[in-house]
A and B are shown apart, each in its own frame.
Chain A
Amino acid sequence: MKAPTRRALAKQQTRAKVLAAARRLFSEQGYEGATIRDIAAAAGMSTGAVFANFADKSDLFREIMMTDMVALAEAMREAASHGDDVDEAILRAFMAGYLFYQTQLPLARAAFSVGWSTQDGPALRGAAQARSLRDLIADQLTRATERGELGSDSQGALRADMLFDAYLSNYPQAIFESWTLDDLRARARDQIDILLAGVRRK
């Protein structure tokens, strides 16, 4: 492989600078509120230089989300591996997620706003990185069934989806009502308990 040229390195640095500025502005002003001009100014470069690296604002936002989701999936998977039973594994995965966004809730808020928009939502939610988050919950259920902790589950896919949705549904409380991690843990524990009730071994 060829060593990266100086030009390629410079380009990489520019991208990193733009992404850092964009992350900050999306957090401060939301997705709609942040403009490419603001982002360029915050990164100390021209709008032309931003557009040379990213097609548009949604491209920029998607890049930030994808990077985060890869890191998030890693953190959730790692956390789940320390759970003693399926409830605990899923709860730990959820908590790793809440912890991940605890210091960047405004960005999570922007992500929900974009995720629900009819324009950019489907691409964001349908991304492989987003699916891998759902898949890791499904994996926990499969393993629990293999261990004999849960009975065989004809509704496995739906149950995994609903668990993940329950995880997401608690973000508004964190974003708008300043719930603490302990509040979220208590709520998530009950939700998991309800959603697993139908498939537990008696």
Chain B
Amino acid sequence: MATPENLTRVDDATAGAAVAQFPAVAARPRVTRQTRKNETRNRVIKAARELFDTQGYQGTTIRDIARQAGVSVGSVFTTFASKGDVLSQVMQDRLDGLYAELDRVMPHLRGATLERLQTMFAIHFAFEVRHTRLFLAHIAAAYDWTLPSTAQPMGANPRLQAIIRDCLAKGVSEGDVEGSIEFQETIDLLMAAYAWVYRLAARDDADAPTMTEVMDRQIALIATGFKPRE
């Protein structure tokens, strides 16, 4: 599904493209300013992503980000209200990429609901595993007092919830998920399992296959709870 977020998605590969396609949209004098603003934004996001990933969220200051991005502290603040906003945007950009990939893959998945859920989470781990510190920062920041109210706490991610819900609904229609299960409870359990598997990354430096294996067992255990009852 192509959403506006997907089209404006910015990551390493498309940063140039996103900026490049901009001049076509607006009149010339505004373009320059808008383009410059966009460039600053992209540089700040990229610098912040690297720093959060290596020194963590708490260990990174706005000054560090500005220095790494090669822009002034002032221009970081003209684009973002706070460090929490920068983190929020970094995660948003990354997750847009992940969800674009899931939107492509999910409709083609075959097999039982259990297997489809396992594949879906395996894609998550493969996508995030090189950036677990960033992911952990995102979870920790959800409890941080300094996080702006506009930021999206990790647990409330509506796209992931919707994907799981679709997966379960398909299972109900195909007969391998009990029709009377509480969707929200099941979704929450899967989301909780997903977040907590990151403890392995934090504690043991676990790799994607290890995290996937543990998650597979957790999903299987939850799946016995949504098996159709006779």
Contacts and interface: CB of A to CB of B under 8 A. Distances in A.
Whether both chains belong to one complex is answered with yes
Interface of A: 29-30, 32-33, 109-110, 112-113, 116-119, 121-122, 125-126, 155, 158-159, 162, 165-166, 168-169, 172, 175-176, 187, 190-191, 193-198
7 contacts: A112-B143, A121-B136, A162-B222, A169-B155, A169-B195, A191-B188, A197-B227
Interface in B182-226: 182, 185-186, 188-189, 191-193, 195-196, 199, 202-203, 217-218, 221-222, 224-226
Given A172-B142, A190-B182, A198-B225, A117 B199 contact: no
The 6 closest A-B pairs by CB, nearest first: A198-B224, A194-B225, A169-B192, A30-B145, A116-B140, A113-B143
Nearest to B155: A172
B169 interface: no
A197 B224 contact: yes
A159 B193 CA distance: 11
B225 A195 contact: yes
A29 to B, nearest CB: 6
A166 B195 CA distance: 11
A155 B225 contact: no
B140 A198 contact: no
A122 B202 contact: yes
A29 B188 contact: no
B143 A109 contact: yes
B71 interface: no
A196 B225 CA distance: 7
Contacts of A194: 181, 185-186, 189, 222, 225-226
B159 to A, nearest CB: 18
B17 to A, nearest CB: 33
Contacts of B139: 116
Chain B contact residues: over half helix, strand or loop, or mixed? helix
A39 B226 CA distance: 49
B185 to A, nearest CB: 4
The dominant DSSP class at the A interface is helix
Contacts of B189: 162, 166, 169, 191, 194-195
A14 B197 CA distance: 40
B185 A113 contact: no
A112 B145 CA distance: 12
A109 B196 CA distance: 16
A118 B221 contact: no
A32 B153 contact: no
Contacts of A158: 217-218, 221
Contacts of A110: 143
Interface in B33-68: 56, 58-59
B226 A113 contact: no
Interface string B156-185: 100000000000000000000000011001
B225 A117 contact: no
A138 B156 CA distance: 29
B146 interface: yes
Nearest to A112: B143
Contacts of B5: none
A29 B145 contact: yes
B218 A193 contact: no
Nearest to B227: A197
A118 B136 contact: yes
A108 to B, nearest CB: 9
A54 B146 CA distance: 25
Nearest to A106: B145
A119 B56 contact: yes
A116 B143 contact: yes
Given A165-B196, A169-B191, 20 more contacts: A30-B144, A33-B146, A112-B140, A113-B143, A117-B56, A119-B56, A121-B136, A125-B203, A155-B217, A158-B221, A159-B221, A162-B193, A169-B155, A172-B153, A175-B143, A194-B189, A194-B226, A195-B222, A195-B225, A196-B225
Contacts of B221: 155, 158-159, 162, 195, 198
